[in-house]
Structure 1
């Protein structure tokens, strides 16, 4: 985001998000001008990008382009601003496009995969959530859990594999693929597997345990 760029401090939460995620977008998000994808359409098609892929990027940009959200609790904060770019062919996968620039120098990029999943492109393509809505829902849930939990515990590596998730249920709104959230009687657990899988680095496996939550803290939204 450059100095002097016009911003809208109160973006509208896209339809389809739950109430908690819409509030998160509207209260914590900032909308800055995103790329005008439509002006690139003919040039991209001329360079071999299929028209349906250009349409897919355009739909992403209409929904998410220019949205800056607070840093994620993992992945070095996630994309700085959600902003699409020219689709590219990923061998063995299909057409994908960048979801936005990293906040810091990273060993991977944030991408939207051929099936619409939000993930990271490292040594291999690793989908984190089934779509960008799921990524935003996970950011909103992390923000909510931090506010309401009495304690937050981070564990890494083999300790994550030893977690007993008996009695927990998956939090479906985050649309988890490699990453997921779990809800228990008075706690929430976020399990971040993306870097461990995408970088072939088991030591990067991490979980955040939010304990001491009441009913609102567990379900607010």
Structure 2
């Protein structure tokens, strides 16, 4: 049986920008989150550290059941944010799922040992320093698409050829592999995760949102 809505207007977790708060409240819904507490004893019995179960539970309490508009890359991102059973990583430490994919994909969305949000493909590839950074990037993409007069998609070597010397990073997205950049009248989103995680340089992509005024660049 499918999850049923429990709140038509979800409350945004604390610490987000006003833009991200509004994005959650206007473009998101909250469905009934998975109850992972009932699995605690079974997971402990399988040797999963209690601290890792608590970490997943804390994520679920804050973000579980939140469904947001699709991302402009990564096949839309997680369908609904939901934690699940922690997994030991080959390089050490533990990660846990951040939510199911919208379509069948070659990687999964995970929360890493240090709290980063990323994709687990051929290798673990952190995209943002936290799930809040991912949500901020979704909010910024929706905002930029709405107010830009031009949107340009560039791929492959053209991404590395972008001159970002006069741009500054957008801090709230907490970029790691992926990043957002702000210029005098434009925003640029650079998506490197699939290129790195899948050893697929053809997946390198950037979106340039042009014609933005001061409010659109810094407000929203």
Q: Is the TM value for this pair above 0.5? A: yes
Q: Which residue of 1 is the match for residue 106 of structure 2?
A: 107
After TM superposition, the structure 1 = structure 2 runs for residues 146-185 of structure 1, keeping only pairs within 5 Å, are: 146-185=145-184
Q: Which residue of 1 is the match for residue 120 of structure 2?
A: 121
Distance 2:146 2:5 in 1: 30
RMSD, matched Cα? 1.1
Q: Which residue of 2 is the match for residue 144 of structure 1?
A: 143
Distance 2:34 2:92 in 1: 25
Partner deviation per Cα, 1:27-71 (whole Å, 9 max, x = no partner): 110000011121111211111010110110000001100000000
SS at match of 1:97: strand
Q: Which residue of 1 is the match for residue 82 of structure 2?
A: 83
Q: Which residue of 1 is the match for residue 63 of structure 2?
A: 64
Distance 1:40 1:217 in 2: 45
Q: Which residue of 1 is the match for residue 17 of structure 2?
A: 18
After TM superposition, the structure 1 = structure 2 runs for residues 202-213 of structure 1, keeping only pairs within 5 Å, are: 202-213=201-212
Which of structure 1's runs of 4+ aligned residues deviate more than 2 A?
A: none
Distance 2:77 2:159 in 1: 21
Q: Which runs of 5+ in 1 are unaligned?
A: none
Report how many residues are paired: 220
Question: TM-score scaled by structure 2?
Answer: 0.98
Partner deviation per Cα, 1:176-211 (whole Å, 9 max, x = no partner): 000000000000000000000000011100000000
Give the Å deviation of 1:135.
0.2
Distance 1:93 1:196 in 2: 23
Question: TM-score scaled by structure 1?
Answer: 0.97
Distance 2:143 2:6 in 1: 25
Distance 2:39 2:103 in 1: 27
SS at match of 1:152: strand
Distance 2:147 2:154 in 1: 19
Q: Which moved more, 1:27-36 or 1:38-47?
A: 38-47
Distance 1:112 1:186 in 2: 34
Q: Which residue of 1 is the match for residue 36 of structure 2?
A: 37
Distance 1:151 1:209 in 2: 8
Distance 1:114 1:90 in 2: 9
CA contact (8 A) 2:173 2:180 kept: yes
Q: Which moved more, 1:107-116 or 1:88-97?
A: 88-97
Q: Which residue of 1 is the match for residue 193 of structure 2?
A: 194
Q: Which residue of 2 is the match for residue 133 of structure 1?
A: 132
Give the Å deviation of 1:7.
3.5
